[in-house]
A and B are shown apart, each in its own frame.
Chain A
Amino acid sequence: MSTKISRREMLKLTAASAVAMSTGLVSSTKIFAAPPGQETITLRFQENEQYYADVVEAFKQQFPNVNIEYVTVTGIDHAEVASKILAQLAAGTPVDIGYAATEATQLYAGEGLALPLTQRVLDSKEELAEYFADVSPVLTETMMYEGDLYQLPRDFNAANMYFNTELLAKAGLEMPPAEWTKDDFVEYARAMTGIDGSYGYGWTNRLWGSWTPWFFVNNTNFLVEERAPGGEWMWETFYADDPKAQGRGGGWRWPAPQANNPEMLEALEFVVSLTRDGLTPEVGMGTGETLTGFFTSGKLGMTPAGGFWSGNLYNQGMPKDAFDVQFWPAWKSQRHQLGVGAAWILNGSQHEDEAWEFVKFTCKKEIMEICGLFNPVTLTTPVRRSMNNEARYSVTGPANWQVFYATLDERPDTGPIPAPVFSIEMTDIYTRFTGLAVNGDMTPQEALDGMQAELEALYARQ
């Protein structure tokens, strides 16, 4: 029997293929490419292929009928990324699996966009027991909203203090002890200012980092903090033996603003005084990346950053012993602020089950180890305690890497940056008035009064 195809037959076949493609028959042919009885589906995943290629490859070996389509969303900060995700939603092209840091967790959960994972977590409790045993309850609680869990934490960053050790040495100083204080900090900043045109301490105007760590250690916040009821299912199921889980609830609530309370004023006056005294350079809008160049070139002695910055500095060519990290200095307390990031699943996605399998898969230790965010260079702090080890930071530094997870284990009062459902608008108010105070257009009192008034109006509109 001849296997040759005539020109006429070829044309017929081409035409039939074109018709099949245009009428959608191709989608049904995919079914035959997958194992019998399993339809091939595609999950739209908000991530960067550069970091997830190996993870997705491993997932596809286990789930060959699930394709992952990357949706890369960039932004200056998490709030801007969230804006773009919502724009995609408005355009009718939402993701099946998104990524949100604390800035947007409650926005997605509170607006019903993210799928509550409580029942699914309980159904998989044997599988997830090892994961939660390796993850601090501080992180888990941050991903809860009104009693339900919405995300399995993947990475976190608490604001610790980074030091340029070369400037430190030039100033004749050594790394401070863990219990150092705000007054010690001022002495350090003063000693490191003016060496080859350097400044002792630099920060940028944003929500995370910024001057937020200062009012946290001054035992206050610009929003009233309280714990939502519920969440017992989590603490009793996975953290029954962990004393750090005691007293936790169903996530955080920020029911009212209190921006102009005396402790907030005291904290803002302190950071403004650092600029006035010439210990801090100009404070503008920006992120950790904004300060990287100044820090690596020896122009900044200290700055707030989390574990993510070590990989960042390493990639910028900074030797691992040229920087180190310590807890935030104590004031009235030594309570740290943090942000947590993780995947969330679109509520109403046609592929919720597959998305859940994917999310669970990415939280396995061996899978997290191959994720491009943690390997070969650590670009953000992994949530697993066991992954924060000497080997991980032996390439990039810092020497005092234990501080990253000790911020959770030794200071379990560490809490999330305030980020209610309307966090994007709230952040705008916060940074706007912060900018006016640090540039001298307003006194700290005027700025905080203005911030309070606008926050009250924002709360009234909700």
Chain B
Amino acid sequence: MRNRSAALVPLCAFLIVWEVGCRLFNVQPFILPPPSRVLAVSFLQAPTLFSHAMTTAAEILLGLALALAVAVPLAISMFYHKVVERALSPLLVASQAIPVFALAPLLVVWLGYGVASKVVMAAVIIFFPIAVSLLEGFKNCDKDYELLFNLMDATFWQKLRLLHWPWALPSFFAGLKMAVAVATIGAVIGEWVGAQKGLGYLMIQMNARLRADMVFASILWLTVIGMGLWGLVGLLENKVLYWKKEG
């Protein structure tokens, strides 16, 4: 707990400088609203923000589900078949070299203004860290343990279930945490390009109306969603990795 409260010190200092600066130099709120105003708007406009946040959260979660559904089988097949790995790993790396933002307009054209294009967008971003971390986790497996299973003539599924999957879990969770941290980016970019709902959509709308306070309030809500997801993954990690040595 002491570690966490330590993070509050620079945050508070930053907010105080911002607040005092805005008031001292009389900055127009449509350019930079003081944090107090952002906080007030976040609460006063909570119903509006909430309904948009739900859309964005749903997009992120569905994106996560889609990414997992593709990344997990892919990592498994890449691990067990070197040919698949050799064939796909250059493509995987190349896919990360493409600026995902460039795909957003196309995805909207292909999948429409609804939730689908944002889900795919989020999944494209999340997919890579999950697949790579899981594959690396599989590969890190101790050869002596593999030998133990081979001497027992364990089948592919037995090895996966009893050895490789649990072995890869710590690495998998590291990737998953990274994934949820960047997942909001995918959803928001998708919404910027064209949407009917969501916090990204709200930001664009409010920016056009010079409501910088609402833009900041949306960012605040996005941050809360991101941190909430991070926390959930952390809880799940503690639950699943009960066998990890403490400390």
Do A and B belong to a common assembly? no
Q: List residues of chain B with CB under 8 Å of any chain A CB.
A: none
Q: List residues of chain A with CB under 8 Å of any chain B CB.
A: none
